[in-house]
């Protein structure tokens, strides 16, 4: 195959991924929406389930005892809790329609991931080098890592509720990549021709991908926390998600994976900078922002360990850290003059 064909195939794969992921996003949204039937519907479902359970096994209520609708009459004013009583992982407790949507969303997400991986591999074959030479390639590679991390993690625990919040940033990123940052395949400038490109930039994108999931979780935690402390809890799918405490733990767990990766990125970058530019640290704008990101996330880890600091405030620091990552990628690369300015974009 010629490079031209490969280029077309790679772009086709990315566009296909975007279509598939859009459908996955819709399915994931439907899943969350169906977790929370309308008020009346909830009560009706509850009644039906009662009847069904009383009548014996059926496809919906199968093995689940009637306890899930234990106190529907008293709690009818707050329909979310009718379903919420079972907890987020009780798949059997979910309406069939929701489970179907989640299954479709998951299948489509896996398919979308496959397309993004294909897009990256085809691009690599096309350019005859590690496909991390410009912003388009970073963005696509990063999206791939986000999706792979999500799919991999999903195999270990039920993360269907997270799907929507992973697919949305990925789609935004791919959208920007194909429109604003798109760069035709080209060779690299001399300073990028190094084995460190594969090491430094790959780990950087992986780290950013993990931080992205951490950011989504952090936002969800803050919303969940707000909802839980509200005097009158509004009805929303959030009540079917893990509680604030669990979300906060997940946020932390994801960040302690990403932070050492980022530390490694900075160290590897310094080693490479010494090879390519003669000095391991030049306070180039990109280096400045990488340092700022590192310090801000270090502050998050410290804030979380500080007694007397609210967990919410700690998570806010992590969100600021993600803001710095966006800044470092979307603004510093394009508008700041420095040694990391390269490759047309």
Partner 1 sequence: MSAATDVAQPRLGPVGWVRWTWRQLTSMRTALFLLLLLAIGAIPGSTFPQRSIDPARTTAWIADHPTAGPLLDRLGFFEVYASPWFAAIYLLLFISLIGCVLPRTKILWHQVRSAPPRAPRRLDRLAAHHEETVDGEVEEVRERLRLALRTRRYRVHAHDDATLSAEKGYLRETGNLVFHVALIGVLVGVAWGHLLGWKGDVIVPVGATFANTLSRYDTFNPGPWVDVNALDPYTIKVDRLDVTFETKAKGPGQFGAPRDFEAFTTFTDAGGRSEPRSIRVNHPLETGGGSVFLLGNGYAPVITVRAADGTVLYSDATPFLPQDNNYTSVGAVKVPGASPEQLGFAGFFLPTGVIDQQGPHSIFPDAVDPKLALTAFEGDLFPSGSPQSVYSLDTASMKPVPGKDGADQLRILLSPGQTYQLPGGRGSITFDRVERFAGLSIRTDPGKTMTLVAALLMLAGLVASLVIRRRRVFVRVGPGPEPGRTVVSVGGLAKDDDEGMPDEIAAVLTALEGSR
Name which of 187 and 228 has its Cβ closer to partner 1. Answer: 187
Determine which residue in the list 42, 99, 285, 329 makes contact with partner 1, applying CB under 8 A. 285
Cα pseudo-dihedral 222, 223, 228, 231, rounded to 10: 120
Name which of 44 and 279 has its Cβ closer to partner 1. Answer: 279
Alpha-carbon span 52 to 314, nearest angstrom: 46
Candidate segments 69-77, 110-118, 222-230, 290-298, binder of partner 1 by CB under 8 A: 290-298
**60 is a site residue for partner 1 (CB under 8 A):** no
Name which of 148 and 288 has its Cβ closer to partner 1. Answer: 288
**270 is a site residue for partner 1 (CB under 8 A):** yes
Chain position carrying tokens 């329909």: 79
Name the H helices within 128-162: 135-156
Residue-wise burial string across 98-120, b where 16 or more C-beta atoms lie within 10 A, e elsewhere: bbebbebbbebbeebbbbbebbb
Candidate segments 19-27, 75-83, 98-106, 266-274, binder of partner 1 by CB under 8 A: 266-274
Name which of 102 and 135 has its Cβ closer to partner 1. Answer: 135
DSSP 8-state secondary structure symbol assigned to residue 168? H
- Spell out the residues 6+ positions from residue 98 whose beta carbon is closer than 8 angstroms to its own: 30, 31, 34, 35
Helix, strand, coil in percent for the chain, rounding step 5: 75, 0, 25
Determine which residue in the list 271, 310, 323, 334 makes contact with partner 1, applying CB under 8 A. 271
**148 is a site residue for partner 1 (CB under 8 A):** no
**Among the listed residues 258, 253, 247, the one whose alpha carbon sits nearest the alpha carbon of residue 321:** 258
**199 is a site residue for partner 1 (CB under 8 A):** no
Name which of 14 and 167 has its Cβ closer to partner 1. Answer: 14
**247 is a site residue for partner 1 (CB under 8 A):** no
Q: What is the CA radius of gyration of the chain?
A: 23
Candidate segments 104-112, 204-212, 214-222, 294-302, binder of partner 1 by CB under 8 A: 294-302
Alpha-carbon span 269 to 292, nearest angstrom: 15
Interaction site with partner 1 (CB under 8 A): 183-191, 193-194, 196, 249, 256, 259-260, 263-264, 267, 270-271, 274-285, 288-289, 291-292, 295-296, 298-299, 302-303, 305-309, 317, 324, 332, 336-338, 343-345
């Amino acid at each position: 195959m010629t490079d031209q064909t490969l280029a077309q195939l790679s772009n086709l794969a990315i566009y296909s991924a975007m279509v598939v992921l859009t459908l996955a996003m819709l399915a994931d949204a439907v899943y969350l929406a169906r977790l929370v039937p309308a008020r009346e519907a909830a009560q009706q479902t509850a009644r039906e389930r009662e009847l069904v359970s009383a009548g014996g096994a059926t496809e919906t209520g199968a093995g689940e005892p009637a306890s899930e609708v234990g106190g529907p009459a008293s709690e009818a004013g707050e329909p979310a809790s009718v379903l919420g009583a079972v907890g987020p992982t009780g798949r059997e407790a979910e309406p069939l329609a929701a489970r179907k949507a989640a299954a479709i969303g998951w299948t489509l997400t896996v398919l979308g991931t496959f397309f993004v991986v294909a897009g990256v591999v085809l691009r690599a074959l096309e350019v005859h080098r590690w496909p991390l030479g410009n912003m388009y390639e970073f963005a696509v590679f990063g999206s791939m890592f986000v999706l792979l991390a999500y799919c991999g993690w999903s195999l270990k625990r039920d993360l269907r509720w997270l799907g929507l919040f992973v697919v949305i940033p990925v789609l935004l990123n791919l959208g920007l990549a194909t429109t604003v940052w798109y760069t035709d395949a080209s060779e690299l400038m001399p300073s990028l021709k190094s084995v460190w490109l594969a090491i430094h930039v790959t780990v950087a994108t992986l780290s950013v991908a993990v931080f992205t999931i951490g950011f989504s979780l952090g936002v969800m935690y803050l919303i969940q926390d707000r909802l839980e402390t509200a005097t009158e809890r509004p009805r929303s799918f959030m009540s079917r998600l893990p509680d604030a405490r669990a979300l906060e733990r997940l946020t932390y767990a994801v960040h302690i994976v990403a932070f050492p990766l980022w530390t490694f990125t900075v160290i590897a970058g310094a080693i490479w900078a010494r090879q390519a530019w003669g000095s391991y640290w030049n306070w180039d704008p990109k280096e400045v922002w990488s340092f700022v990101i590192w310090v801000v996330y270090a502050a998050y880890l410290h804030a979380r360990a500080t007694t007397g600091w609210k967990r919410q405030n700690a998570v806010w620091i992590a969100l600021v850290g993600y803001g710095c990552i966006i800044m470092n990628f979307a603004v510093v690369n394009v508008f700041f003059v420095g040694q990391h300015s390269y490759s047309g974009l």
